[in-house]
Amino acid sequence: MYLKMYVKQIMTRNVECIAPTISIAEAAEKMRDLDIGFLAVCEKDRLIGTLTDRDIVIRGVVEGLNPRKEDARQVMTPSVAYCYEDDDLEQVGKAMQQKQVRRMLILNRDKRLVGVVSLGDIAKASGEETLAGETLGEIAEAA
């Protein structure tokens, strides 16, 4: 029997959020210090984008931006993949497949950032190994 699980049951709650005005270098240093490759970008208590280590390399380094002078807004991804904390885990896995993302930001119904869920989180969730594998397969095929 399938036991329905919700995102809030497995999400990581301590999501790092940066201002879009911090330098690319400061964002990279934060990633290094926290040993992460992904940051949410927030302005005035609202989620406005995401920044990955890949964004920094592809949009910053390759384009020759000065990481000490240019801000995170220059290299962030403004389109944000998100779902709600009370969404069904299976729905979120399918949304990750459709959007071809490996992590999804989690908002409460007031649209405030409350967490993040990754493929790893889904894989760890009891009984969801198949969903995580299917999701990763879909993302890998698209890449």
Q: Looking at the domain assignment, is residue 1 inside a domain?
A: no
Q: Which domain holds residue 24?
A: 7-142
Tens of pLDDT along the chain (143 residues) come to: 356 889 999 999 988 899 999 999 999 999 999 999 999 999 988 899 999 999 999 999 999 999 999 999 999 999 888 999 999 988 888 889 888 888 899 999 998 999 999 888 887 774 545 555 565 555 555 55
Where residue 54 sits, what CATH number does that domain have?
3.10.580.10
Q: Is the whole-model pTM more than 0.95?
A: no
- Residue 127, exposed/middle/buried by CB under 10 A (0-12, 13-18, 19+)? exposed
Residue 52 belongs to a domain = yes
Query: What total of structural domains would you count in the chain?
Result: 1
Is residue 2 in some structural domain? no
